[in-house]
Amino acid sequence: MPRKHVVVLDTNVFVSGLISAKGAPGALLLRFRQGSFEIVTSKAQLREIRSVLSRPSLGRALPKGTAREVLRFFLAFKKLTRVFDPPRLPWEFKDVDDHFLLDLAVYSRADFLVTGDKALRSLALVGRCAVVSPTEFLGRL
């Protein structure tokens, strides 16, 4: 059996997939639940996800009655992923708020960093990690 891809999902992709099962982010979370690939995350990303999920604006964006399901999936997500605490590396990438994703991609030896962020995708590679959109990654599964 071939090795599963190791993937860093940008927080924007993860949260988009939680908000709606439609579209590429939702399809990615479904494929993750089916065991198609492995997700790695970091303590910094888990803090960011928790912060985003607690925003009132997100509560309004979720379909009625799904807040509990989202929280349940987030708790399961933490158990289903490998959580790293990578060292900070020096990056020339302008958006310092995304440096933790680059650190994670390199430290975890991820195959893919999946993001909707065009600036991040412009990097194309971080170490040996390909930086791709959700649609591009789905095409590689």
Residue 101 lies in a domain: yes
Question: What is the helix (H) or strand (E) element at residue 132, kind and residue range?
Answer: strand 129-132
Q: How many domains does the chain have?
A: 1
In whole angstroms, give the CA distance from residue 66 to residue 19.
Answer: 9
Q: What is the CATH number of the domain that holds 109?
A: 3.40.50.1010
Contact 119, 100 (CB under 8 A): no
Strands in 78-128 per DSSP E: 82-84, 112-114, 125-126
The predicted structure's pLDDT at residue 112: 98
The predicted structure's pLDDT at residue 87: 81
Residue 1 lies in a domain: no
pTM of the model: 0.87
Residue 13 lies in a domain: yes
The predicted structure's pLDDT at residue 27: 95
Residue 46 lies in a domain: yes
The arithmetic mean of pLDDT across residues 74-84, rounded, is 76
Q: How many CB atoms lie within 10 A of CB 56?
A: 7
Structural domain harbouring 81? 6-140
Q: How many CB atoms lie within 10 A of CB 25?
A: 26
